[in-house]
Structure 1
Amino acid sequence: MLNRLWLLFAQAVTILIAVWFVLITLKPEWLAGANVTTIVDSVTLKERDDVSSPNPGSYHEAVKKSMPAVVNIFTSKSTKQPLARKDKNKKSDPFNQFFFGDTPDAEPISSLGSGVIVSPEGVILTNHHVIRDADDIDIALYDGRKYKAKIIGSDPETDIAVLKIDAKQLPNPITLGNVNSVHVGDVVLAIGNPFGVGETVTSGIVSAMGRDHVGINTFENFIQTDAAINPGNSGGALIDTRGNLIGINTAIYSNNGGSMGIGFAIPINLVKQVMQSILKTGGVTRGWIGIEPQNLSHELINLMRLPKNTEGILVSAVLEGGPADRGGMNPKDIILEVNNVTVRDIGDLLNKVSELNPGDAVDFKLIRNSKELNLSFRIGKRPKQKT
């Protein structure tokens, strides 16, 4: 009898323990114990704190500061000429493809790009090729409002355009950075409207500074980045991790029209220089001497019997009546220096002369008939280039 009672007791205890384990696993709230409540509450509070604080390494604050100043640009024209700068006879050239690609040969033609608000008065920076030949320009703000824009001026040689909209309560303009604070390896963010999907942020690093000889613009001094940039990003912002504008995205190296990790932005120092000139005069005035220059190759150096380490520019032709012609420069002259600074190639010469004001006196060091020669004359105004 005693053994039977002990067996019943053991079975009852086993059943109770099993029920307790089932309840604590599946329905802990039924037990309503103080310890369980405390654990659940502490976990809940911890989750709330994680949601409200930024993730480690996040660039949210930089994007929050700058993104409202980035706008979407929609352009249209009534002709059958494409807005994008792409030569269909040069499909193999990866630099012929700009961000917003080809537009169909139909009427009306429409295209898209991006821009950046830089003043409370509604001044907007973008690329020249975004608005080139456009009959109608619409600006869509971050909050969805839309306005018509007018062109204040543009500079095709640097691919910069300045627009203006008449609007109230605009987002805070973007803060302009300093290119001297930008270094290779810095993290950067590209903001724009790729493929028309809406405002998008991508990240990467500065791959190179002062990139030239790319063959995109007349005056080149690009920031190269691997931040993903796609059609529709033209004219958008390249910012640093503090949310400051350090460049205007302008082009990509691509064989298929999409991002391949090589993008180019016009640095903010050049952008500011062009923008200020456009706001002041409606355009950009540059120096000009009126010659056709040619880079010195090893073959030319040997042919002209110059020292092998010669750095300079060959004057292939001189425009009759131009500043160089009036100043005594001749074809076959070799330009070695401009204002006592060595000239290494055509881009170097172009930049040095264009930075001067028309009417300024400029000194040239030349080689003519194997002898060094110094010339000084006043430069002229660079003619307006075809867009």
Structure 2
Amino acid sequence: MQLKVKSDTYIQKLLQEMGICSQEVLVFIDGKISPETAIAKKGQEASIIYFKHGAPQSGSALHKQRKYEECECGGIPVYFAPHLGRHFCKKHFLEYFEKKARLEIRQKNLIRKNEKIALGLSGGKDSFSMLHFLSHLKEALPFQFFAITIDEGVKGYREHTINRAKKFCKKLKVKHYIYTFGKEEGVTLDSLAKEGKANCSVCAVLRRRLLNSKARKLGASKLIIAHNLDDTAQTVLLNVVRNEPLRFARMEEPLVQSKSLIQRIKPFATLSEKEVATYAYLYGYDYGEGACCCPYVQHAIRRFIRHQLNLMEEAYPSTKLRIAASGHTIQDAIRKTIPKEKLHINSCEICGEPSSGEICKACSFLPKR
């Protein structure tokens, strides 16, 4: 979305007048990324980019205009952190971002020296950011990692993201493996859509199984997922909305450990989606290149919850952090109530992958072979 600024105004006010939540967009004034606290001058060109999905329903949270300031070093800010009340220039934002991700890794011992790790690389902004971050991390912590991309078979969308993923890995010299639903599962998301079975839940189950099996067969001890703080907060609210309290028990890790289940780790767990989006842009991610989002996501309840959560965060900074923390508290409480003797894991009778029942969820979604 592009427009010419009609009069001097705060970007935040401009967004509010347009019914746009600042937590869902990156704003550029005359081609330069700017925090929402900055002032746009009359006659300047403003570009507003949704870094995930398109424009939602109108209606933005109202709050007191935050003061625009320079970075503490005196540099021009590219990002404003509402929960800290701080502006960051490019140099200090990148330092802040990577420091938070490194802290998450260190506190939870997520990556160990000389480990071989797989990265789930979709080609979107989150996994693009993780690819760059891991490339930097390797300079200080010796470990191996490779990327796995899953092609779900969504015509007109997946071609763009897969080409992006190939380009990213080639540039950073990261080994890259691509697997398709069509070859591995005998279906595509498009073919499932024709049967009325294509939705985010089905896609996630099939993709998760494929990532787990391929990471294991390629010798990885862990699988990195580029989920961020927003993803966790959304999942907490989804579990509540759907009245599925037991999902909290396995929100971060499986209830039962198995050699067949590769541990999933999330170094970006404390970083917001907007922070990840800004990091991606600063390392060259092009938001105008190709399709922005999967066409099947438009009716997903997660998309609606995401927007409502962003409105809450805009009005009440740190809302996402508190909701995520609540989810972890609930998880710990529920896990204590489940008798250990009732916990077991099977192998799916059809595919042989880990399953809580005789047939895994993925196989139950697929046509009988």
Q: Indicate the TM-score class for this superposition, using the shorter chain for normalisation.
A: under 0.3
Q: Which is richer in helix?
A: 2
Q: Which is richer in strand?
A: 1
| TM-score w.r.t. length of structure 2 | 0.25
User: Relative contact order, CA 8 A, sep 6+: which one is greater?
Assistant: 2
Larger of the two Rg values belongs to structure: 1
| TM-score w.r.t. length of structure 1 | 0.24
